[in-house]
Amino acid sequence: MKSYLGLAVSAIALAACSKPAPETSKTITQKADITAPDAAPAEGHTAGYNPDRNAYFGDLHIHTRSSFDAYIFNVRRTADDAYRFARGETIKHPAGFDMTIAGGPLDFYTVTDHAEYLGILPAMDTPGTELSELPRAKDMFSTNPDKITAAFQGIGASVRSGEPIEDMYDKGVINSVWMQNVDAANRHYVPGEFTTFAAYEFTSVTTNRDDGTFGGGNLHRNVFFKGDAPDRAFSTLDSTNPEDLWDWMDEKRSESYESIAIPHNSNVSDGQMFRLETYNGDPMDAAYADQRMRNEPLVEVTQVKGTSETHPSLSPNDEWADFEIYDKLLGVYDVSQTEGSYVREAYRNGLKLQQEKGFDPFHFGLVGASDSHVAGGAYSEEDYWSKIGIVDGSPIARGSVPFPGTTSWDNQPDNNVVKNGREWFSRWSASGLTGVWAEENTREAIFDAFRRKETFATTGPRMKVRFFGGYEYTDDMLNAANLTRQAYEGGVPMGGDLVGTGAAPSFIAWAQRDPNMGALQRVQIVKVTSDGEAVYDVACHTGTPDPATHRCPDNGAGVDMTSCTPTGEGASELKTLWQDPDFDANTRATYYVRVLENPSCRWSTWEALRNGTPPRPDVPETIQERAYTSPIWYIPAE
Amino acid sequence: MKYLREPLIQFVVAAALVFGLHTAWQAWQDKSDSTIFVSETELERLAALYASEAGALPGPEDMTTMVSDYVRDEALAREARRLGLDQGDTIITRRLAQKMSFMVSDLREDPVPSEEDLRAWHQAHADRFTEPARITFSHVFFSPSVRGDAAETDAAVLLADLNSAPAMGTADLGDPFMLQRQYGDVPLRELARQFGVDFAAAMAELPASDDWQGPVHSALGVHLVHITHKTDAALRPFDEVRAEVQQDWVEQKRREANEQAVADIIARYNVEIEGVE
């Protein structure tokens, strides 16, 4: 069992995908599209076209059997299976149980298999192929766990180092499986109903370790093509440097393959994702910032492997900062460095760089995803299956219930299952999704929303949130039937730059619950400046925010822990017009909205309840599901 | 050599042959059980494995290490098998089962359906080839967050006004709704996602009408609705979906064939579960 767990460890390391990279400098030149949508539907649009934009939900980060790590997790589901899952069909988890998407079909979905050795493992496991004759294939698919682990770690080491294992690096197979994934995305794209993108994951990881494991700073990012995709995917076997990826994307863009990349799991990047230097340790400059923002306008802020918004040590005055924090480097027990790993701090450093050097490489919007490696995301606390197949496919493996033979948390045996459950899997989350505001459900409209950064992230529920900033907004607009249109016409939506006029801007923050999930408790606006941050409650289910503390009164909502039933009331929608009480017309500020649901049981509590054992004591019993919008950047007049 | 045709002689010769072969086989078996033979092929495999990891060929010391590791693993693995340790190991069992099920899967050619097969499939699985029920409607929203308990009564009052003055414009009525005020040909199941299941169920029951109807409750608040058109769920004609039917049929037959192949293997075993009659 020990070796198997060793495999699990390295597998987990690989499953994580994110990586720090230099960010593009953002300046006013990189301003978001602030024009309001056309008022009337134009000819040639799909049914459901809405000039005031609809909220569409999707998952932009899904792995299938073609990912080298997923295959080792016993995942055999294909890209076709993944898209069918997203549209509501039931598929099998590698451990044999059924997976059905929580909350009904999604509007968009994207398979992002690791580009490195894409499809090579299935080929190595197919009798009769040349790849299956390789010694490494014999080992990998032997029944000897030590050999399996060694073979698998060898692949991980190659992905990390960027040095190909020549006999496994069969570009014919890799490119052909890439084109199969592209074809699957095209085949399942139904304009107006369901959008897909050709996409993959670039799996870069830094390391300062010499033990051959995968542990290191996660610099993974997913690459998405708006329409047609090139015939190969740039991977770490080309270069482990994300800046080289951007060069490639720029080159492909000039050949009319438009794309963006979305980094993820900055939380376990060991301070690398938002480091204030280039990949090679050189100073950033304006050209760097421009290239980064051109290629990476969005960042994934929540997923199974935790939250990348902020960390309690970075935001000691934010009572909600300690939320689903996961800080173990990939596949090891080492703790990731906090500084340089979180989005809110990056926004602050971006403003600082802007002030000192005239560019901002961290002018990005926010999305959420699952990073599921079993083709189907687990978005529901009540129905959770984590993400790495047979390795974390049971409550015991996830550490949500005591090890077999025990019923108490006080006397857990000292074995790897228990340890991995404690250090890793019990701290993973049933998260997340991306919301976009787009006129219709098509590749063009959704990709354009990515470019505008008119996106928000949720931790699983499909709550919707609008956010606008402008100078002409009035209180009575809030109750005008055409509020949305007026808001677009009089200001900028999330993702936009709000250029100063000398006057204080007003913000419209408007949240609507997921009709099939928990009610809302409060809406907050997070303000970031180059030298600080503040969290303001701006709309409350009960009462109004205290003007001194900027906090809502307690709305008394809770959870009956004997049944996980929510108690108390919450709001179906919350809406407010807000002005920053500490506004300074001469100071750049980044504002984003955070929406909090009432408390609900965490997945680990649901599993304990069903098992009849006490919930794990070292993780919270309840959580507050939430949404984060892309910011609006206030930029003082010149 | 006539005596060779004698039945008795034939029997004796055959028996001797069989006995001899069996003895030789047994001897070889015993040898292979107690001998760990490291073949030239195995040595090459080990060297290649080393080379792919290290990027250089192994030296004599490396080979010695690898061979002794190999011998150690092989000896321990055989001893483990002799003791039956491979029997209760889930990983090994699962891995072997997987290898076997892979070998039996997709071995057969896909069957070709007849026209009758496909038509029968189309009928038998009508739910898969059915266009969902759709609805076209406008709504006026009354937000409990704005009006509290008055949302319902405000809606009822406006309903009477709307139906007595059919020309009244509705764009400015009610509270702002974050999403759309009109939905065209939207599937009912989409309403469940946007408004909650109760609203979708209520809308499924209401008829299309010139009148405004309601109040209808959703997870978001209270709505008056003007349903201008409803389309019932309808089975798409066979000719239109022939290709989909065929694909569905073939996939199902393939699954069945694979399951059958596995079932055939299982059928070769008697399964006894202790404590279960």
Q: What is the dihedral of CA A40, A46, A49, A53, to 10 degrees?
A: -120
Separation CA A83–CA A97 (nearest Å): 18
**Element (DSSP H or E) covering residue B240:** helix B238-267
Pair A311, A276: CB distance under 8 Å = no
Are B160 and B78 part of one and the same domain? no
**Element (DSSP H or E) covering residue A525:** strand A520-529
pLDDT-flagged residues of chain B (< 70)? 1-33, 53, 87-91, 95, 98-109, 273-277
Mean pLDDT lowest for which of A449-458, A569-578, B268-277? Answer: B268-277
Within an 8 Å CB–CB cutoff, is residue A543 touching chain B?
A: no
Separation CA A371–CA A432 (nearest Å): 9
Q: What are the residue boundaries of the structural domains of chain A, listed by start?
A: 2-29+59-392, 463-635
Pair A286, A27: CB distance under 8 Å = yes
In a domain, B270, yes or no: yes
- Residues of chain A with Cβ-Cβ distance to B172 below 8 Å are 480-482
Closest C-alpha to A331, from A246, A252, A423: A423
> CA dist A421 to A254, A285, A400, A413, B164, Å?
47, 43, 8, 12, 65
Residue B47 structure tokens:
């060297």
Mean pLDDT for all residues in chain A: 91
pLDDT tens digits for A144-173?
878 888 888 889 889 999 999 999 999 999
End-to-end CA distance of chain B: 62
pLDDT of residue B165: 81
Are B16 and B153 part of one and the same domain? no
Are B32 and B101 part of one and the same domain? no
Q: Do A515 and B184 touch (CB under 8 A)?
A: no
In a domain, B51, yes or no: yes
Residue A330 structure tokens:
């990939």
pLDDT of residue B273: 66
Residue A559 structure tokens:
């959870």
Q: Do B91 and A125 touch (CB under 8 A)?
A: no
Are B139 and B226 part of one and the same domain? yes
Pair A266, A217: CB distance under 8 Å = no
Burial degree of A403 (CB within 10 A; 0-12, 13-18, 19+): middle
pLDDT at A534 over 70: yes
Chain B CA closest to residue A539: B145
A104: nearest CB among B49, B174, B193: B193
Are B206 and B275 part of one and the same domain? no
Look at residue B62 and give its three-state secondary structure.
Answer: helix
Mean pLDDT for A378-389 is 96
Look at residue A455 and give its three-state secondary structure.
Answer: strand
End-to-end CA distance of chain A: 65
Mean pLDDT lowest for which of A287-291, A336-340, B99-103? Answer: B99-103
Mean pLDDT lowest for which of A4-13, A178-187, A530-539, A603-612? Answer: A4-13
Separation CA A261–CA A435 (nearest Å): 17
Pair A442, A53: CB distance under 8 Å = no
Best probe of the B interface among A73, A121, A143, A155, by most B CBs < 10 A, is: A143
Q: Do A135 and B175 touch (CB under 8 A)?
A: no
In a domain, B121, yes or no: no
Q: Per DSSP, what are the bridge partners of residue B235?
A: B130
Separation CA A595–CA A520 (nearest Å): 8
Contacts of A295 (CB under 8 A, 6+ apart): A24, A245, A246, A249, A250, A259, A260, A261
pLDDT tens digits for A480-517?
989 999 999 999 999 999 999 999 999 999 999 999 99
pLDDT of residue A407: 82
- Residues of chain B with Cβ-Cβ distance to A138 below 8 Å are 45
Burial degree of A256 (CB within 10 A; 0-12, 13-18, 19+): exposed
Are B95 and B69 part of one and the same domain? no
Pair A421, A388: CB distance under 8 Å = no
Are B58 and B147 part of one and the same domain? no
Q: What's the domain count of chain B?
A: 3
Are B74 and B7 part of one and the same domain? yes
In a domain, B124, yes or no: no
Pair A35, A51: CB distance under 8 Å = no
What is the gyration radius of the CA atoms in chain B, in angstroms?
38
pLDDT tens digits for A236-288?
999 999 999 999 999 999 999 999 999 999 999 999 999 999 999 999 999 99
Between B75 and A539, where is the model more confident? A539
Report long-range pairs for B190-198 (Cβ below 8 Å, ≥24 apart): B191/B135, B192/A104, B192/A515, B192/A516, B193/A103, B193/A104, B193/A105, B193/A462, B193/A515, B193/A516, B194/A515, B195/A515, B195/B219, B195/B220, B195/B223, B196/A515, B196/A516, B196/B220, B197/A515, B197/A516
State how far residue B62 is from chain A, nearest Cα, in angstroms: 16
pLDDT tens digits for A25-72?
333 333 334 444 444 445 689 988 999 999 999 999 999 999 999 998
Separation CA B83–CA B96 (nearest Å): 18
Q: Which amino acid is at B237?
A: P
Are B202 and B253 part of one and the same domain? no
Are B61 and B98 part of one and the same domain? no
Q: Which residue has the tokens 């078996």?
A: B29
Between A94 and A451, where is the model more confident? A451
Are B47 and B109 part of one and the same domain? no
Are B248 and B224 part of one and the same domain? no
In a domain, B64, yes or no: yes
B145: nearest CB among A136, A464, A575: A575
pLDDT tens digits for A98-130?
999 999 999 999 999 999 999 999 999 988 888
Chain A CA closest to residue B139: A481
Interface of A with B in 116-135 (CB under 8 A): 125-127, 135
pTM of the model: 0.81
Q: Do B220 and A144 touch (CB under 8 A)?
A: no
* Residue B82 domain boundaries: 2-88
